[in-house]
Structure 1
Amino acid sequence: MKTSIIGFPRVGEVRELKFATEKYFRKEISADELEKIGQELRKKHWQLLVNQGIDFIPSGDFSYFDTTLDTAVLLNIVPKKYQELNLSPLETYFALARGYQGEAGDVTALAMKKWFNTNYHYMVPELDDETQIKLVGEQLFTTFNEAKANGITTRPTILGPFTLLKLASYHGSKKAKDFYEEAIAAYVEIFERLNLESGEWLQIDEPALVLDITSEEVQQFKELYTKLLAKKGKLKVLVQTYFGDVRDVYQDLINLPFDGIGLDFVEGRKTLELLEEHGFPKDKLLFAGIVNGKNIWKNNYEDTIALLGKIQLFGKVVLNTSCSLLHVPYTISSETSLNKEVLKYFAFAVEKLTELTDLKNIIMNKGEHQESLEQNIALFKQERFSKNPQVAKKIESLTENDFIRVPVLAKRAEIQKEQLKLPILPTTTIGSFPQTKEVKQNRAKFKKGEISEAEYTVFNQKKIAECVEFQEKIDLDVLVHGEFERNDMVEYFGESLEGYLFTEKAWVQSYGTRCVKPPIVWGDVSRSKPITVFYSKYAQTLTDKPMKGMLTGPVTILNWSFPREDISLKEATLQLALAIQEEVLDLEANGIKIIQIDEAALREKLPLRQTDWHSEYLDWAIPAFRLVHSKVQPETQIHTHMCYSEFSDIIQDIDNMDADVISFEASRSNLDILNALKAIDFQTQVGPGVYDIHSPRVPLVTEIETTIHNILSKLPIEKIWINPDCGLKTRGIFETEASLENLVLAAKKVRGGV
């Protein structure tokens, strides 16, 4: 029996890659220096995997921004406007990822979307009728040979053609199937190169197979891989799936001449059932995803061994992670603030490697490795925390009326229009302003005890005053306080709630150089004191304009945390909803008339199969949001915000959240969501983002005007708000201020013409 992982965290133990890449962006280091740091990280990670006893070691899972983008660039999927900048290959790559504004030209970044049901984001490949898919890059082979030079034979990994073309966007008459022949030729060339360079295995990731796959798509997949695998030569090919089961294509998949098939036994609800019903070929390796790659709780060895006992009946098994370890932090050894009694329940990426080797040794050497098994069994028999009976009582006492706000939306809109007296096309931001080095240093000093709470508060109040002054100067209509007291939008709330634990260095990549540190839901969640009231109330005293209270919604708090595994997601979300409801009512009682409850991650845990959407998720996630705001007065305007995802197919459910205003991250998807809003006669007022904050470029006034007119061609003017597409925390001050000035000017120009 052997062990394998699908991928490893690439940012490094202390985010070395993030900081190096950002230095490169600031021109503080050269491309060669950045590549040297990349080489050092790759070597360190490969050697770590060897030392931990992992048999199949991936290469190609490393990236300076995103592996989907890497595959697109490798295969010449680079739109003409980026090629015409005539930049270096690395600068072109980052122009695709971040946009470019300089002497060579002005281009926006590619669209960014959520990677399936995770908090990772991928860059959407963009194809048009001029695109010619062909192998032009070297990175896949360079890293393979780099590892070989270090005495390590890796398994190169690449996103497969079916998933690549399914996730791509198309700008022209051609669609995915029109590029299949070119894709086959390009992947065949990859096979040929790896055969020449003595490659043993190639991992081709096809996670799209866990989605709802039509019979036509199944046939396309079969035809694609029948042609492709006929040319693999001596190379062994592993098709790797994750995030679910492959029920729509399983029988076709196992009949294709793959040498290995990777299946997910953690999130794949029907994976074992598929094996039991249809069997598994004896001539293939089954890469069994039995160690959770998305959550941080220790593996229950007893349960996993029992599962493996069933899996092994069907053939040769390789112990694998359920998905890439990209989605969990690097190692618990970096954590010094949590005591050992707590840490013993967790396994981050490095510890999951140990779990794989533990399980392998327990299964292969019965008796010899019983101690680790016995320790694991004892751990799972212990009571981990004391439950809060008051929380359970509150949930049990909820009735249908607790999820309904009165009066109805249309009546509230009339009341709020009279109370708030906002102009048409009101302008606002999503909430956060740039977190400068000065702001971060102030927070760090306070946490270390180097300054008093009074000093910390005075600094934040000064920054809030500056932020309010700027917003008034450019004449925004609805202001925010800037969130200078907050770190991550979820971590900040978790720190003020009972039932949460927090780490020091448990960073996880969200996109590019953006990393987050998800808190851990340890026990029952409740609110013991106000969280945001002090700073929101202070900010409102500085202006006569409405000041938005800024909260994170319960679904997003849960989805961007590492959740418990001993209770349902529904119960965990209702606990959070009751806690945030208390905060909403406190803000209202303290004079905050507009309250934004962000549900940025609403779609994140939406089941990948549409048949499960409502029963498994939406039927409790949407009511949980309504519970948060159901008790506020009609005069209080409730906003929410969503980003990074496609929402068109759940747009009716979003309307059913019964917010008064919703803002979307829409600019990167060419405002496609507007058609969906129009189609269902969307009732909620809406602020589609009018410019992309994920890029440092400053949008022109005319550019924003055009976007606003596009919005007005789809939706009635009385329902439209003007705002950026997301928060401004990660942006610089200059680009933020210039962009917001242009936003207000554009809104006023359009306003003056109607």
Structure 2
Amino acid sequence: MKTHNLGYPRMGSHRQLKRACERYWAGRITNDELQSTARTLRHQHWQLQQEAGIDLIPSNDFSFYDQVLDMTLAVGAVPERYAPLQGREEITDLDLYFAMARGYQRDDLDITAMEMTKWFDTNYHFIVPEFQRDQTFQLTSTKILDEFNEAQAMGIVTKPVIIGPVTYLWLGKEKEGDFHRVELLDRLLPVYHQILKSLVEAGAVYVQLDEPCLANNLSERERQALQVAYQSFQQKFPQLKIILANYFDCYGDNLSTALSLPVHTLHLDLVRCPSQLDDILDSGKLPEKTTLSLGVVDGRNIWKNDYEQSLQPIRQTTNRIGTERVMIAPSCSLLHAPADLNSESGTSKISSIRPWLAFAKQKLTEVVTLSQLAQIEDRTQQPAYQENQRAIQTRRDSPLVHRTEVQQRMATVTEADAQRQSPFAHRKVQQQSLNLPQFPTTTIGSFPQTKEVRQQRAKFKKNEITEEQYLSFLHQETERAIRWQEDVGLDVLVHGEFERNDMVEHFGEQLEGFAFTELGWVQSYGSRCVKPPIIYGDVLRPTPMTVEWTTYAQSLTPRLVKGMLTGPVTILQWSFVRDDQPRATTCTQIALAIRDEVTDLEQAGIRVIQVDEPALREGLPLHQADWGEYLRWAVQTFRLATSSVSDETQIHTHMCYSEFNDIIESIAALDADVITIECSRSQMELLDTFADFQYPNDIGPGVYDIHSPRVPSETEIVQLLEKAQAVLPASQLWVNPDCGLKTRGWNETKHALEAMVSAAQQLRQSISEPV
């Protein structure tokens, strides 16, 4: 019974890769120095997996930015607008790669970044491939082979991990021409053949091809494309052992297709979909020689594995098909988990729940231990099993988990609690008292978290400065931000969020039922990492969380200042969530806490309150049949959090990097007075959905991309707003960036917002002028 791992976190336990990339972008280290850091991390990760006892260790799971972008570069699908960079001697392949992810604005060139969106239902982002009707592919990067050879030089024969050809096409977008991107498969496959041929010649025995599109609703054309691709691989490389990896959900309607593909191993995510094992074993369609990879260790959460629970499907499978046809693995790549629980100090905020946890490194041990226990007849006498079961039982019985007052309040919630007093049309009239102009301007919430802000926060946490000194600094930063917003002419201001570390962590730290790590970082996109809270018990808000800073900012200016909150679905999605009750129950508990905060903000005189839900679309189940129930409780919890206010109070929400077409009715059902969305990378394409639906409430389409360092021109923003105005009435439109400005520098922020305000003023003038 072999063990294998689908992928390992790239950043390093202390975010070494993040820091190296950002130093490289800033021109502070060379390409060679960046490559040295990357090489060191790869070697460390291969070695620790080898030491843990993993039989098949992945390679090519490392990436400087994103594995989909890696594939785009490898197959030569570089959009035409980057051609000027390819002809410059000083531009390396890595510079081209980063330009595709982040945009390029230097000297005489100004090139926008490629679109970015969420990786299935995770908070990880990928760079969306762009395809033309006449798209060509050619092998232009040897990264996959190079990393295999690099590991082999260390004495480790790895299992290269490659995004499968159908998933790669499925994730992309047709940019020009009337065609379906899957039609490009015949042109793409020869490049895959070249990659696989080079690996076989270098000594690869196993290759993992990731096809998570199989967890979604696929068309017959897409299923046929899978047949074509894998038949070609089998014909050309009959001795290559292909592990077909699907994760995040069941194979569903694609199961017959998956079982018919000529692959060595089929991977099952038994954490997200335990029922699929019976479907496969009872189907009679599992080929006699096909191995099953059982993903029984949760790759997306941090709870210790329950060995007794996981051993049941392992025993069931070995009894049916034999031990030699079973592999044990995490459910998906461990990219979505923090690196190492051992990095947490003894004084960590998770100390009380530490025995219940397992991070990526510990999950490797769980995989190996499960493999060993499954081959022992009396596992109950094994110390590893006994220790594991004690930890599981301790968590079940812990008084830290359940709160009587929370349970009692949950029982009193009614449908009426999730309803605003009046329909939007009436509220919009009442909100005219806010005296906002046409095309009102605002930002999404955060302003740059400068090095000085981070240093002061670190000093305060280390007791190097007093609380009084720290608060004085924060008051100065907040006032400076308010004054600058007044000067630039923004209509609805924000306090800047200088006191906040992260939009979820900040709230979790003030809610009971949450715990926090010191180094539990998880990659979100590029060099951006987040440190998700751990929801271990019932959620309760003991005191107001944002009222003091919001009212302080409002006291500095006669202009409107928004209260800034994170919504219940996003707090849920961007946390590690308890797995002992339905997610809907936990989300309702969070919604009640946010509801209390919304009520307190309104009572403190705050007239505009934003409750961000960027993760609403992310939480959508992959199979459409499961959408209804999720959307029901997701919408209900947002409304529960925001419906306590009067008609005169304006509720905003924000969503980013989402495809809204399929859930537009649910977005409308949120009934936020204003929704702000990401639109700039898609050139306002997302607005078509809102226009076709005749979305009734106000919309702020993002007019520039904050995930890129490039600064848009006023003309560019005007053109985007004119596109927006062509599909939506001017009376519905707000003007704002795509997202918060936390990760940007002040210089680029100031220039971009000045251009944005000027563009809004230009449009106001054009509307007011007689035709």
397-406 or 80-89, which moves further after superposition? 80-89
Residues 98-127 of structure 1: per-residue CA shift (max 9 Å, x gap): 000012511111100000010100000111
Q: Which runs of 5+ in 2 are unaligned?
A: none
Contact in 1 for aligned 2:211/2:245 (Cα 8 Å): yes
Number of equivalences: 752
Matched with 2:686 is: 673
CA shift, 1:535, in A, is: 0.7
| Alpha-carbon distance in structure 1 between the residues aligned to 2:616 and 2:714 | 31
Q: Residue 460 of structure 1 aligns to a residue in which SS?
A: helix
Matched with 2:41 is: 41
Matched, 1:507 2:514: no
Letter of the 2:404 partner, please give it: P
Matched, 1:702 2:736: no
Q: Residue 278 of structure 1 aligns to a residue in which SS?
A: coil
| Alpha-carbon distance in structure 1 between the residues aligned to 2:61 and 2:465 | 42
Contact in 1 for aligned 2:182/2:222 (Cα 8 Å): no
Matched with 1:335 is: 344
Matched with 2:241 is: 236
733-742 or 307-316, which moves further after superposition? 307-316
Q: Which runs of 5+ in 1 are unaligned?
A: none
Residues 215-264 of structure 1: per-residue CA shift (max 9 Å, x gap): 23222221232223211243221111110111222222222221111111
C-alpha change, 1:339 and 1:584, in structure 2 (3 Å) is closer
User: TM-score, length-normalised on structure 1?
Assistant: 0.98
List aligned pairs for 1:301-320, cutoff 5 A.
301-312=307-318, 313-315=320-322, 316-320=325-329
User: Which residue of 626, 631, 645 corresponds with 1:618?
Assistant: 631
Aligned-residue sequence identity (percent) comes to 45
Residues 191-236 of structure 1: per-residue CA shift (max 9 Å, x gap): 2111211111111100001101122322222123222321124322
Matched with 2:184 is: 179
Matched with 2:423 is: 408
| Alpha-carbon distance in structure 1 between the residues aligned to 2:541 and 2:241 | 54
CA shift, 1:341, in A, is: 4.8
Matched with 1:92 is: 96
| Alpha-carbon distance in structure 2 between the residues aligned to 1:59 and 1:227 | 23
| Alpha-carbon distance in structure 2 between the residues aligned to 1:475 and 1:381 | 58
Matched with 1:112 is: 116
Letter of the 2:391 partner, please give it: L
Residues 401-420 of structure 1: per-residue CA shift (max 9 Å, x gap): 11111111110000001x10
CA shift, 1:84, in A, is: 2.0
Contact in 1 for aligned 2:315/2:374 (Cα 8 Å): no
CA shift, 1:358, in A, is: 1.0
List aligned pairs for 1:490-505, cutoff 5 A.
490-505=504-519
User: Which residue of 542, 563, 575 corresponds with 1:528?
Assistant: 542
Contact in 2 for aligned 1:520/1:561 (Cα 8 Å): yes
Residues 727-748 of structure 1: per-residue CA shift (max 9 Å, x gap): 0000011111100000001111
Residues 578-628 of structure 1: per-residue CA shift (max 9 Å, x gap): 11111111111111100000011112221001111012x111110100011
Letter of the 1:6 partner, please give it: L
User: Which residue of 284, 295, 310 corresponds with 2:301?
Assistant: 295
Residues 15-71 of structure 1: per-residue CA shift (max 9 Å, x gap): 000000101001111111111111111011000000000000000000000000001
C-alpha change, 1:94 and 1:716, in structure 2 (3 Å) is same
Matched with 1:445 is: 459
Letter of the 2:339 partner, please give it: Y
474-483 or 373-382, which moves further after superposition? 373-382
Q: Residue 290 of structure 1 aligns to a residue in which SS?
A: strand
CA shift, 1:434, in A, is: 0.2
443-452 or 285-294, which moves further after superposition? 443-452
Matched with 2:391 is: 379
Letter of the 1:205 partner, please give it: D
Letter of the 1:19 partner, please give it: R
Matched, 1:544 2:558: yes
| Alpha-carbon distance in structure 1 between the residues aligned to 2:710 and 2:524 | 20
Matched with 2:145 is: 141
Q: Residue 656 of structure 1 aligns to a residue in which SS?
A: helix
Contact in 2 for aligned 1:71/1:159 (Cα 8 Å): yes
Matched with 2:366 is: 355
List aligned pairs for 1:542-581, cutoff 5 A.
542-581=556-595
Letter of the 1:487 partner, please give it: N
List aligned pairs for 1:264-303, cutoff 5 A.
264-279=269-284, 280-303=286-309
Q: Residue 249 of structure 1 aligns to a residue in which SS?
A: helix
537-546 or 173-182, which moves further after superposition? 173-182
User: Which residue of 604, 607, 613 corresponds with 1:599?
Assistant: 613
| Alpha-carbon distance in structure 2 between the residues aligned to 1:119 and 1:736 | 25
Matched, 1:170 2:179: no
| Alpha-carbon distance in structure 2 between the residues aligned to 1:143 and 1:206 | 21
| Alpha-carbon distance in structure 2 between the residues aligned to 1:345 and 1:245 | 27
Contact in 2 for aligned 1:686/1:720 (Cα 8 Å): yes
Letter of the 1:327 partner, please give it: H
| Alpha-carbon distance in structure 2 between the residues aligned to 1:385 and 1:143 | 48
Query: Alignment RMSD, CA only?
Result: 1.3
Contact in 2 for aligned 1:275/1:314 (Cα 8 Å): no
Matched with 1:469 is: 483
CA shift, 1:525, in A, is: 0.5
Residues 465-523 of structure 1: per-residue CA shift (max 9 Å, x gap): 11011111110000000000000100000001111101100000000000000000111
239-248 or 173-182, which moves further after superposition? 173-182
| Alpha-carbon distance in structure 2 between the residues aligned to 1:199 and 1:220 | 25
User: TM-score, length-normalised on structure 2?
Assistant: 0.96
| Alpha-carbon distance in structure 1 between the residues aligned to 2:245 and 2:182 | 21
User: Which residue of 375, 398, 423 corresponds with 2:413?
Assistant: 398
